């Protein structure tokens, strides 16, 4: 009886333990599904940011190519400006009226006088004379340049030089604008790559938690299975004990009937009178 009670108690404890493992397994499986969903969500975000960053990189590379082209064009037109400036200077020397100082000589004198005016402390009358000299030189330079500019060849060269200068300045301006735009695309790309990397790290952590929960869930499931097997083993033992108890009880009953029949039979042999119950007991035991 004590053995049966002990087995029943152990069965109940193992059954309760099996239920605990089952609940823990189910909870961990729920967590596993949550981590999988979180991982997939983060990976999707990371891919989206990566695509955006790649678009910025592509645009940056395109702009850098445009910068190279603008620099090349700027250098071409700067070279053209220098060539035309030299050509224009030669043409002016050719077309310069003969006699008297050249425009270059006049400008050299003018520059010297202007320097003297800025660096010297002069009396009023001397300064007045200096200012008048500067004004005369400026007027003479202007007049000679006006005469030169009336020449068709000089005029054409000046026009070409002006156009070349405008194109050189335009391409130089484009270099700055395109370089600035390329830098903005680069900065945006770097920032978004950084965000993508941060999200990817979160996704990796979610993957680690998924694996951890999955392993724990598998472990709890295995423990549940093992404990349930132990519960079934206890059920088998209890069933065996109950069957044995029935068998022992039946055997004990048969033994009692047999002993009673032997006693009646001995009385019969001694010549004692048997009752109907006695005869039925002998019949039941197999004596008659």
Which pLDDT tens digit goes with each residue over 44-90? 999 999 999 999 999 999 999 999 999 999 999 999 999 999 998 88
Cα torsion for 30, 32, 36, 37, to the nearest 10°?
A: 20
249 confidence band (pLDDT: 50, 70, 90): very low
Report the pLDDT value the prediction gives residue 139, as an integer from 0 to 100. Answer: 83
Chain segment 84-112, per-residue pLDDT in tens? 999 988 887 777 766 667 777 878 888 88
Burial class (CB in 10 A: 0-12, 13-18, 19+), 269: exposed
| In the predicted structure, residue 241 carries a pLDDT above the cut 60 | no
The CA-based diameter of the chain, rounded to the nearest angstrom, is: 189
- CB-CB contact of 84 with 157 (8 Å): yes
- Percent of the chain exceeding pLDDT 70 equals 80
């Amino acid at each position: 009886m004590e053995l049966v009670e002990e087995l029943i108690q152990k069965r109940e404890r193992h059954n309760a333990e099996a239920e605990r493992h089952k609940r823990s397994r189910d909870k961990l499986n729920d967590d596993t599904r949550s981590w999988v969903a979180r991982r997939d969500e983060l990976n999707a975000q990371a891919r989206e940011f990566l695509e955006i960053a790649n678009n910025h990189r592509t645009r940056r590379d395109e702009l850098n190519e445009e910068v190279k082209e603008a620099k090349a064009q700027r250098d071409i037109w700067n070279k053209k400006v220098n060539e035309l400036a030299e050509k224009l200077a030669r043409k002016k020397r050719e077309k310069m009226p003969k006699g008297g100082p050249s425009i270059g000589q006049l400008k050299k004198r003018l520059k010297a006088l202007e320097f003297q005016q800025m660096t010297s402390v002069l009396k009023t009358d001397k300064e007045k004379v200096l200012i008048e000299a500067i004004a005369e030189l400026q007027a003479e330079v202007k007049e000679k340049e006006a005469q030169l500019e009336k020449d068709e060849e000089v005029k054409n060269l000046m026009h070409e030089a002006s156009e070349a200068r405008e194109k050189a300045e335009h391409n130089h301006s484009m270099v700055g604008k395109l370089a600035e735009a390329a830098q903005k695309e680069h900065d945006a790309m770097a920032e978004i790559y950084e965000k993508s990397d941060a999200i990817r790290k979160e996704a990796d952590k979610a993957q680690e938690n998924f694996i951890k929960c999955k392993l724990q869930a598998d472990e709890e499931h295995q423990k549940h299975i093992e404990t349930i097997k132990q519960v079934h083993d206890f059920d088998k033992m209890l069933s065996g004990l109950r069957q044995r108890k029935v068998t022992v009880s039946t055997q004990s009953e048969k033994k009692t009937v047999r002993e009673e029949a032997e006693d009646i039979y001995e009385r019969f042999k001694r010549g004692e009178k048997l009752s109907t119950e006695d005869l039925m007991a002998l019949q039941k035991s197999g004596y008659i």
